[in-house]
Structure 1
Amino acid sequence: LAALALWVEREGADQAVPRGAVIEVTIDGASEPVPVKLGVWISNTKSRRDRLDADQLAALATLGLEWAATEAAA
């Protein structure tokens, strides 16, 4: 979620994440940022959305993923 939050902060919640998008995230205690294949992660998460619980869907919806908001409301 940290990579998605960075994307929303930089690009805006209304900007779709391209499948090839890679975001570098600094993990606590790490000296180097870690690349996260955000576009692939979102695609995989969307295809597995039926396995996400309500809290996970709500967190994704808060960050602007419309499909998560639709699933959370269902």
Structure 2
Amino acid sequence: MKEVYFYTRPRCPLCEEAEAVLKLVREDASFQLYERNIDDKDEWMEKYGLMIPVVEIDGKVVQYGHIDYPTIKLAVDA
């Protein structure tokens, strides 16, 4: 099963849209989702601060900024 890490932060409109996309993908694909608030760790803030939302699958950044269904679904199914 794929491991999907979703880097986000509170009050982020793009993050809310990305979360909705991830929920739609979960209806059609099975994966383990881990949500991480970048404000929780300085390392995440430095790495992803200007990129959020970020979706990382099996250790690779698949998409950031604008998250879309086809890209995430293809990466989860790969």
Structure-1-length-normalised TM-score: 0.28
Structure-2-length-normalised TM-score: 0.27
More helix by share: 1
Whose RCO is larger (CA < 8 A, sep 6+)? 2
Higher Cα Rg, which structure: 1
More strand by share: 2
